[in-house]
Amino acid sequence: MWRLTRKELRGILRDRRTIVTLVLMPLLLYPLLSIGFQQFFLSKLGTARQPAYRMGFHDLRDGEFLSSYLARGGLNLKMKDDRPVGFMPAEANENPLFTAFLTPQLEAAVREGDVDIAVRVLNFPANLNAGHNLAVDCEIVFDEDSISSRAAAAQLEDYFTAANERFLETRLEAMGSSQRARAVHAVRKGVSSATTSGDAAGGVVSIAAVIPFILILMTITGAVYPAIDLTAGERERGTLEILVAAPFPRVGLLFAKYVAVLAVALLTATANLLTMWLTLHASGVGRLLFGADGLSAGVASAVFCLLVLFAAFFSAVLLVLTSFARSFREAQAYLIPLMLVSLGPGMLSLTPGLELKGLLLVTPLANITLLGRDLLQLKATGAAVAVIVVSNMLYALAAIAVAARLFGSESVLYGNEYGWSGLFDRPTRTRQAPTMTNALFSLAFVFSAYFLVNSELAQWGGASIAMRLGLAAAASVVVFGGLPALAGRLGGVPLRCAFSLRHAGLRAYAGAVLLGVSLWPFAHEIVVLERQAGLVTFDATFLERAMKIIAELQSAPLWVLLVGLAAAPAICEEWFFRGYLFGALEAGANRRTAIVGSAIVFGLFHFIVTDGLAFERLIPSTLLGLALGWVRGQTASILPGVVLHGCHNGLLLTAAHYQVQLAAHGMGIDEGEHLAANWLAAAALAAVVGVLLVRWSATNLEHTDNPREVL
């Protein structure tokens, strides 16, 4: 696969069309754009020689005081006609011209674009006589994402400086002894206009909302030609039949092509980003768009991470479209619908008030676009980033699997009438294991459904714990059981084969029980080590929530806990992870890949929760997944794994339910302390015996003439 990937990369990078896209377009495009931006801003400045800014005050008293004080610095405030009197009218066409408004909710008025800036007097002086000392503190509230608001705030600070200097001169003339140098100390207080799509005064759209839209075009441009050349181009060169007939897995073949397309897309996007940064820095346009610091290293790093996500997604989607094309021209025709479909989610970043949560977190492309907006506005959370990255990785893998099924199909090879509906046709022959395409497709759907269901269940905070556990168990049956079962039926795989529903020997079940009751001490030790190493920290909110959950577990009947949190997850999760997914990975690669791959996915599912990231669960869950995968590989059945999983969960739930009673008998467990050495020794002994029993059962299986039928 590595040799094939290098071959594809060499062929693409040597092509003249790639060089044009990779080098010449960025070198020509961004200087031209910078010239256009410069002309735009110069023309705007030329036609608006007297910018008008709107300033808000909390009440009339603040407005009267500040208008009279700022007049010392040369600013004569023009009052609004329908406002109370008290402001000094403008004597001439000062530049810039401020108009005063009364806006009780200062932050909201600035955020919604009703005014450009607002000034709040924090400590109103007791005596306004110029003959007395004056020490007033103010806040200048401005919109960080608005060019005119930033300019108004900077201009107002200049007027404050001039007024302070004039006041100081007056006080010195009067021989005041205790006057401080800066009479009114004003500091900026920035508010984000996340609920608005642009600047109300000038109509300029927030750059944080525009950048994700630009990145869509940037990444599609880099991935289009390589995807077409490596798929539809194979047929036009007459090499498609030879490539398909090669003794190489179709998924591996498409994965190599995907890596090549992704590499070229990232190179092109990086060249665009670097050229854009140099152009903005050299031309000075960057300071107009991003403030005084221009395009900083932090913003550039966030943009590059977004480029990786966009490139990974679009490279896979383009391979799906171009793998179905019979010619280069047909592949190009598919690009227009793709562009139209992609621009729709790209516009979401410009939608006012749209929050990144719920369904949007797992909606392809829309989640990346909104994540880009939140990253640039420093509002993205770790949980949102993890959900979006994992979901788009799964979508990309599913797309690669679909491309592998399309690439080299009869419709492409021989040009017969075969449409997209062929993807969903049931095979005429019965399969013994799920295909990689069906497994990856199911994995992508299961992850999205799992996250959405958990998000909805989290909203049922007022329901009883029995009801919540019942709903969670039903959701597990549908998500981990129903979706894979439907995929197995459509894929022509009997349930017995798709989910390894085979009997195992008594030794295997006995070993599974011993492993189920002996692995939890090692998981506990891993969590303790994580906390001591500083990898996991529990704040007061987390501990309070954990104590609430424990109290609910102790109040519920034990059988409800065992059914809802032990039996249901054990059956449903093993049904999917060690049944359907494991079988597809083993058939498509080998047993070792199936064990490791299913364990990593199992750990990620337990790592991502609705309201945050449970990092303390990642390593223990992955290691438990390795143990379950090993048992599945040894016994060729998910049933011992169900027993192991159920015993593990059931023992922990029972201990939590009877925590008070166990502590009274000196058997309590402190979450932050290591277990006693004799506990660990007993657990290790039980685990070794369990491993030997499972291995003994596997040895008997290997000596059976027809192990599948016997089991």
Reduce the secondary structure of 406-419 to three states and give it as a string.
HCCCHHHHHCCCCC
**pLDDT, position 214:** 72
Q: What is the three-class DSSP state of 607?
A: helix
Report the candidate in 147, 142, 161, 144 with the shortest Cα–Cα distance to residue 56. 142
Let me know whether 342 and 235 are in one domain.
yes
**pLDDT, position 681:** 93
List the helix and strand counts (H, then E) for the chain: 33, 8
Q: What is the mean pLDDT of residues 333-340?
A: 76
How many structural domains does the chain have? 3
17-21, 90-94, 185-189, 460-464: the lowest-pLDDT one: 90-94
431 found inside a domain: no
**pLDDT, position 53:** 85
Q: Are 426 and 277 in contact (CB under 8 A)?
A: no
Q: What is the mean pLDDT of residues 435-463?
A: 81
The model's confidence at residue 626, banded by pLDDT at 50, 70 and 90, is: very high
pLDDT in tens, 395-424: 888 888 888 777 766 555 555 444 445 555
User: Of 407, 425, 443, which one is at a domain's C-terminal end?
Assistant: 425
Would the pLDDT of 199 be above 50?
no
User: CA geometry: angle at 648 spanning 644 and 649, to 5°?
Assistant: 120
Let me know whether 305 and 401 are in one domain.
yes
Q: What is the mean pLDDT of residues 294-323?
A: 80
Let me know whether 529 and 633 are in one domain.
yes
Let me know whether 62 and 163 are in one domain.
yes
Let me know whether 144 and 244 are in one domain.
no
The model's confidence at residue 207, banded by pLDDT at 50, 70 and 90, is: low
439 found inside a domain: no
User: Of 425, 458, 482, which one is at a domain's C-terminal end?
Assistant: 425
Buried b (16+ CB within 10 A) or exposed e, 367-403: bbbbbbbbbbbeebeebbbbbbbbbbbbbbbbbbbbb
The model's confidence at residue 21, banded by pLDDT at 50, 70 and 90, is: low
Report the candidate in 82, 83, 114, 115 with the shortest Cα–Cα distance to residue 98. 115
42-51, 122-131, 249-258: the lowest-pLDDT one: 42-51
Cis peptide before 125 (omega within 30 of 0): no
Would the pLDDT of 39 be above 60?
no
How many Å from the N-terminal Cα to the C-terminal Cα in the chain?
A: 36
Q: What is the mean pLDDT of residues 121-131?
A: 72
List of residues 6+ apart from 631 with CB closer than 8 A: 508, 511, 512, 515, 640, 641, 644, 694
Let me know whether 631 and 515 are in one domain.
yes
Q: Which residue has the higher pLDDT, 272 or 697?
A: 697
List of residues 6+ apart from 324 with CB closer than 8 A: 334, 406, 411, 412, 420
Question: Which of 317-321, 370-374, 574-578 has the largest mean confidence?
Answer: 574-578
Q: What is the three-class DSSP state of 662?
A: helix
User: Of 408, 425, 442, which one is at a domain's C-terminal end?
Assistant: 425
68 found inside a domain: yes
- The pairing of strands 97-102 and 78-79 is parallel
Q: What is the mean pLDDT of residues 379-383?
A: 80
Let me know whether 295 and 337 are in one domain.
yes
213 found inside a domain: yes
Compute CA distances 126 → 65, 129, 135, 136, 349, whole Å. 12, 9, 10, 10, 48
Could you give the CA distance from residue 247 to residue 585 in angstroms, rounded to a whole number? 18
**pLDDT, position 596:** 94
The model's confidence at residue 700, banded by pLDDT at 50, 70 and 90, is: low
322 found inside a domain: yes
Q: Which residue has the higher pLDDT, 337 or 641?
A: 641
198 found inside a domain: no
Segment holding 213, helix H or strand E: helix 207-230
Segment holding 56, helix H or strand E: strand 52-57
Considering Cα of 107, then 113, then 114, then 117, what sign does the dihedral take?
positive
Q: What is the mean pLDDT of residues 136-156?
A: 87
Q: Are 608 and 391 in contact (CB under 8 A)?
A: no
Residue 688: φ, ψ to 5°: -65, -45
Q: Are 476 and 574 in contact (CB under 8 A)?
A: no
In eight-state DSSP terms, residue 137 is E
Mind spelling out the 3-state secondary structure of 5-52? HHHHHHHHHCCHHHHHHHHHHHHHHHHHHHHHHHHHHHHHHHHCCCCE
User: What does the radius of gyration of the chain's CA atoms come to, in whole angstroms?
Assistant: 33
Residue given tokens 């943009």 in the structure block: 303
- The pairing of strands 612-613 and 608-609 is antiparallel
β partners of residue 309: none
322-331, 505-514, 534-543: the lowest-pLDDT one: 534-543
The model's confidence at residue 185, banded by pLDDT at 50, 70 and 90, is: low
196-205, 249-258, 356-365, 585-594: the lowest-pLDDT one: 196-205
Let me know whether 532 and 579 are in one domain.
yes
Q: Give the chain's largest Cα–Cα span.
A: 111
Average pLDDT, the chain: 77
Let me know whether 176 and 322 are in one domain.
no
Report the candidate in 257, 201, 203, 206 with the shortest Cα–Cα distance to residue 232. 257
- The pairing of strands 136-143 and 117-121 is antiparallel
Question: Which of 153-162, 190-199, 298-307, 553-562 has the largest mean confidence?
Answer: 153-162
- 189: exposed, middle or buried (C-beta count within 10 Å: 0-12, 13-18, 19+)? middle
Let me know whether 278 and 181 are in one domain.
no
Q: Are 469 and 564 in contact (CB under 8 A)?
A: yes
Which tokens hold the place of 200?
Answer: 């109300």
- The pairing of strands 52-57 and 136-143 is unpaired
385 found inside a domain: yes
Q: Are 143 and 149 in contact (CB under 8 A)?
A: yes
Report DSSP letters for 455-503, one per residue. HHHHT-TTS-HHHHHHHHHHHHIIIIIIHHHHHHHHTT--HHHHTT---
Let me know whether 9 and 138 are in one domain.
no
Could you give the CA distance from residue 159 to residue 164 in angstroms, rounded to a whole number? 8
Let me know whether 184 and 273 are in one domain.
no
**pLDDT, position 659:** 79
Q: Which residue has the higher pLDDT, 510 or 46?
A: 510
The model's confidence at residue 670, banded by pLDDT at 50, 70 and 90, is: low
* Amino acid in the structure at residue 159: Y
**pLDDT, position 80:** 65
Compute CA distances 24 → 16, 220, 279, 335, whole Å. 11, 17, 14, 22
Considering Cα of 577, then 583, then 586, then 588, what sign does the dihedral take?
negative
Would the pLDDT of 263 be above 80?
yes
Q: Which residue has the higher pLDDT, 215 or 31?
A: 215
Tell me the HSE value of 112 on the side-chain side, using a 13 A CA sphere.
8
> Which residue range forms the structural domain that includes residue 169?
50-191
4-13, 32-41, 266-275: the lowest-pLDDT one: 32-41
Q: What is the three-class DSSP state of 185?
A: strand
309 found inside a domain: yes
Q: What is the mean pLDDT of residues 297-316?
A: 81
Report the candidate in 184, 80, 92, 180 with the shortest Cα–Cα distance to residue 138. 184
Residue given tokens 């990898």 in the structure block: 535
Considering Cα of 232, then 233, then 235, then 240, what sign does the dihedral take?
negative
**pLDDT, position 493:** 84
